[in-house]
A and B are shown apart, each in its own frame.
Chain A
Amino acid sequence: MKSDKIRLTLGDWQWNASVIGFINIVGEENVCHIEADTVEFWPEALDGFENKYFAYFINTYEKTLSWYKIVNFQDRLNTYEENNFEEFDLKALEFLNVYIKDVKRYIKSNSYKAAYELIDSEVELLSFEKQLITIKEPKNQQRFDVDKSEIVNEVKRRFLLLQQIINYCASSEGRRYIGAKNAIYNIINNAWNGVSFLNSQTKEKNIYSDYKSYFVDTATGYLQSEKGKYKYNCFVCDAPIKDMSNDLSFLNATGFDVARKSSHVWNFQNDITICPLCKLIYSCLPAGIIYTYNRGIYINQTIKLKDAVRINNKIKSRILRSQDGSMRPIYHALVSVLHEQENDSAKYELADVQVVRYENESYRFNILAKPMLQIIVNSKKELDSLIRVNFIENGRNINVYDEVIGRIFNNQNLFTLIHKMLYGKLSDASKCYFNGSHVRNVLIINQLICSRLGGMKMDNTYLVKKSREAGESLRNKYFNKDSNHKLAGICYRLLNALKTTNENMFMDVTLNCYLYVNSQVPKVITDALGRGKDFSTMGYAFVSGLIDGQDGSGNKEKKAEGE
Chain B
Amino acid sequence: MTDQTALKYTAEHEWIAVDGDIATVGITDYAAGKLGDVVYVELPDAGSTLTAGTVVGEIESTKSVGELFAPVDGEVVEANRAVVDAPELVNSDPFGAGWLVKVRFTALPGDLLDHAEYRALTA
A, B co-complexed:
no
